[in-house]
Amino acid sequence: MKKNPILLLSLFLMLILNSCMESKEIGVKSAWARPGIAGNTTAAYFLISNPLDRADKLLSAKSDIAQITEIHHSSEMNGTMSMQEQEYVEIPAKSKVEFKPIGLHVMFINLKQDLTKGDQFQLMLNFENSGQIVVNVEVQEP
Ligand SMILES: [Cu+2]
């Protein structure tokens, strides 16, 4: 039987395409933020998944909606909430890190505008290895 070079070529291309589509990267999903009032603060939450074999670090966050955007961790002790700014957040290999109302969050300080339910804005997350990932955040009631 004669081999069909075009068929072989297209099979080869399909293989390449497939491996590209399976290329894994850090993903951020389910991003939401609480409503807020201009001049006040609010926070955003999301899920970071790292399917890669190596760890990464979230180094910083940036947005246009507030004067200051920081990465915080909040905890509750004896009924009192406290939070600390984080220098970075470790994202271990093959794991998920959840930013949630008690725990890690991105804090927006001195909002430049009101944020009401249904509003959307962009949040830039800067990772050590993965570079910048732009996340669409939707404002929701908690
Ligand atoms: Cu905070």
Q: What is the pLDDT of residue 77?
A: 86
pLDDT of 20 reads: 52
Listed as own residue / partner, the contacts of 136-142 with beta carbons closer than 8 Å and 24 or more positions apart are 136/31, 137/31, 137/32, 137/33, 137/44, 137/46, 138/31, 138/32, 138/33, 139/32, 139/33, 139/34, 139/35, 139/115, 140/32, 140/33, 140/34, 141/34, 141/35, 141/117, 142/34, 142/101
The distance from CA 65 to its chain's CA centroid, rounded to whole angstroms, is 16
Between the CA of 1 and the centroid of ligand 1 the distance, in Å, is 69
Predicted model pTM: 0.82
Q: Which residues of the chain have pLDDT under 70?
A: 1-23
Cα(83) to centroid of ligand 1, in Å?
6
Cα of 40 vs centre of ligand 1, distance in Å, is 12
Residue 42 Cα to ligand 1 middle (Å): 8
pLDDT at 13: 62
Q: Which ranges of 39-89 would DSSP assign to H, the alpha helix?
A: none
SS3 of 7, please? helix
Domain 24-139 has CATH 3.30.300.30: no
Is 44 in contact with 33 (CB distance < 8 Å)?
yes
Residue spans of the domains in the chain: they are 24-139
Distance 131 CA to ligand 1 centre (A): 23
